[in-house]
């Protein structure tokens, strides 16, 4: 079950909770709040979450030697694609799944921060809740 939620490593569940949920979640929540305070659209929170997911992947690599976004491996898999498409696509989907998990987690934090801030602003300005 753990291999589905994080990279298999000696630090597995704790590194995910520390880096992705704590650090990345706080940054995504703050980004969502900042977007809501400046009355920007919600879709921008997902763009910021993609950039934050890349930064969180880099932190996983630097702090715990977990290759969440192994760029060289993805390039090698794309180079082998014409020779063995089935194996290359299966390995590529594994690498993309790890990044996707981080991205979805950060999107949830950003959406929560955005929604919470927007509701408070609407209640303060107009006297009702959404």
Q: Is 128 exposed, middle or buried (0-12, 13-18, 19+ CB in 10 A)?
A: exposed
pLDDT 10s digits, 15-33: 888 888 999 999 999 999 9
Q: What is the percent of the chain with per-residue pLDDT over 70, rounded to a whole number?
A: 79
Residues of the chain with pLDDT under 50: 1
Q: Is 111 exposed, middle or buried (0-12, 13-18, 19+ CB in 10 A)?
A: middle
pTM metric for this prediction? 0.79
């Amino acid at each position: 079950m753990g291999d589905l939620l994080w990279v298999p490593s000696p630090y597995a569940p704790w590194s995910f909770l520390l880096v992705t949920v704590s650090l990345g979640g706080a940054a995504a929540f703050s980004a969502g709040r900042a977007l809501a305070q400046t009355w920007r659209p919600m879709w921008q929170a997902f763009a910021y979450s993609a950039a934050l997911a890349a930064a969180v992947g880099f932190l996983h690599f630097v702090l715990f030697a977990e290759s969440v976004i192994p760029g060289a491996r993805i390039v090698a898999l794309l180079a082998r694609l014409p020779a063995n498409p089935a194996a290359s696509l299966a390995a590529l989907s594994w690498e993309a799944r790890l990044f996707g998990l981080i991205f979805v987690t950060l999107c949830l934090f950003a959406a929560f921060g955005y929604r919470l801030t927007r509701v408070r602003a609407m209640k303060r300005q107009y006297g009702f809740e959404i």
